[in-house]
Amino acid sequence: MALVEVLILLAVAVFLFYKWSVSKYHILSDRGIPHEKPTPLIGNINTKILLGKSSFLKFIIGRYQAYKNSKIYGIYTMRDCNIHIRDLDLIKKVGIKDFDTFPNHNSAAGDGGETFLSKSLIALKDQKWREMRNSLSPAFTGSKMRMMFILVNECVVEAVNYINSEIQAVGNHEVDIEMKDFFTRFTNDAIASTAFGIQVNSFNDRNNEFYRTGKAVTEFTGLVLLKAILVGLVPKVMKLLRIKLFDDKILNYFNHLVIDAMKYRAKHKIVRPDMIHLLMEAKQHYEEKNADSVGEYAEFTDEDLLAQCTLFFVAGFETVSACLCFTAHELLENPEVQNRLYEEILDTQNSLKGKPFNYDALMKMNYMDMVISESLRKWPPVILTDRICSADYNLKDDEGNLVAEIKKGDNIFVPIIGIHRDPEYYPNPEEFDPERFSEVNRSEINPLSYLPFGVGPRMCIGNRLALMEVKTIIYHIILNFQIVRAEKTCENLMESISGFALIPKERFWMKFVPRIS
């Protein structure tokens, strides 16, 4: 083939690729939705974010603030057209009032054939999701959390023991600790115990298999990150080629962990107050309820159970540790808040009169709740939530005016971090002020302006468990130590965070000073 012909074919291929990369970029303009001009293939996402040199967090806040006079705005993520809603009344319509038109998440990764993704609660759609949600809800009641508190508290004790051992090791009265690693290990151990029914101590056995596997699942770097991008860009091609996000070795590990535990417990009639037991109960109740049913909803399979256990791990591993990191950082930056929290903790200890700390005592702590609520307001671990439109829909404001035409299959996003940092809802939003959530002030907060766990029926089902984990370890840490600035403490979190992860480049270094009894 002549060189000229090769060059012509190459030019045609490049042209066709270009046309494909920009083929959806007319959508927002056609519907009159404000947006910035996209870059071919990349869309509106700054390439610096993809390279880890700029922050996705700041990008989402910046887009939200740029359209303060609009109820909605658009962002092209690669080739995908995403509609962001910033008006609270419209968020209520999409997330609650007209939920039947927006019932599902965008689960491109879950549609790829990986069971632990496709059968997990977050990926399930329509009636399958409703059935699974109804089956799982009883597992997260207050009484069930009270049972699991014991398991979480055991992990907290091990974490506090580690800090004390580090202090003794340096022969000093204080020690600097990097808290992202610390809280990740605690979260790992808590999930291992509460979700999978196994006991590990990642502070002593720092390279245990459960911890290694968990890091492999939750750290989206290298090849996994590339595959995740391709799943978002060309999900049908990835499914056709049977390319999975995660190595079969990882999936087999979780499979054996859960299925073997279930069989052993069933055979020996072992009861442990953890997620596997609660899911086994849910499975039994579901099958009894649907004993006379036929079809796809008639059974709750072992794969269904495995998917939920794995989801609790993936969903809780990074989000809980991130919440803990930001909460601890705000406590060292705001010593008056830390001191007041310590006073409430002492009052709680005194009220126990020598009895062990328990779930009911934790739930009575008002200032603790205010502190964690404000941390989740300022630093929500999940900065966006999404819905997929299931039918053509006219999005109208309360006066009946048409805001936009939403088409079946459209991606709808709620920019949680933008709303949480909006001075219209939270004066001086960059300030850490737990008083926003006092008993008096909380009633003034629009519920749609505070969405750390999502909105409507699709909000996080495990929020009670997550809050219990966060509050329990913060309780014990502040009871035993004062958290103060270390030499390597990050000076400005917002400016130091880059890429998609909520981690500053200096990480979360803090100094722990033992309290004198």
Burial of 505 (0-12, 13-18, 19+ CB in 10 A): exposed
DSSP letter (8 states) at residue 96: I
Q: For the beta carbon of residue 59, count every other beta carbon within 10 angstroms.
A: 18
Structure tokens at 139: 């597992």
Q: Coil, strand or helix: which one is 395?
A: strand
Angstrom distance (rounded) from CA 195 to CA 315: 12
460 labelled binding-site residue: yes
Angle at 316 between CA 313 and CA 319, to 5 degrees: 145
The length of the chain, given as a count of residues = 517
List the beta bridge partners of residue 512.
175, 483
Longest dimension (CA), the chain: 91
Structure tokens at 347: 């009052």
Q: Coil, strand or helix: which one is 394?
A: strand
Which residues, 6 or more positions from 244, have their beta carbon under 8 angstroms from its beta carbon?
A: 112, 113, 114, 227
Q: Coil, strand or helix: which one is 109?
A: coil
List the beta bridge partners of residue 175.
512
Residues making up the binding site: 460
Residue list for the binding site for heme: 460
